[in-house]
Amino acid sequence: MGLKDLEKLLKEKGENKGNNVEIDWEAEKNKWLNAVADFFHDIECWVGNLPNLKIDYTPITIKEEYIGHYETKKMIITMLNQNVTLEPIGTNLIGAHGRIDLKGKKGTVKFVLVPKKSQGPKVIVRISNEGEIPPLLPETEEAGNSELVWKIATPAPKVKFYDIDGDVFSDALMAVL
Pairwise CA distance, residues 95 & 145, whole Å: 15
Q: How far is 129 from 131, CA to CA, in rounded Å?
A: 6
Q: Looking at this protein, which amino acid is placed at residue 151?
A: K
Average pLDDT, the chain: 88
For residue 17, what pLDDT is reported? Answer: 52
pLDDT confidence of residue 64 = 96
pTM of the model: 0.80
DSSP string, 96-154: SS-EEEEEETTEEEEEEEEETT--S---------TTPPPPPPPP-TTSTTSPEEEEEEP
pLDDT digits (tens, 9 = 90+) for 8-42: 777 776 655 555 668 899 999 999 999 999 999 99
For the cut 50, the answer to whether the pLDDT of residue 141 exceeds it is no
Distance (Å, rounded) from C-alpha 144 to C-alpha 122? 13
Contact 87, 60 (CB under 8 A): yes
Count Cβ atoms below 10 Å from residue 151 Cβ, excluding itself. 23
Nearest to 33 by CA among 4, 59, 65: 59
Q: What is the pLDDT of residue 142?
A: 45
What pLDDT does residue 69 have? Answer: 96
Least confident interval from 15-19, 48-52, 109-113, 125-129: 15-19
Q: How many CB atoms lie within 10 A of CB 119?
A: 14
Q: Give Cβ neighbours of residue 122 (< 8 Å, ≥ 6 apart).
A: 95, 142
Query: Is the pLDDT reported for residue 159 higher than 80?
Result: yes
Tell me the longest C-alpha to C-alpha distance in the chain. Answer: 81
| Least confidently predicted of 38-42, 114-118, 123-127 | 123-127
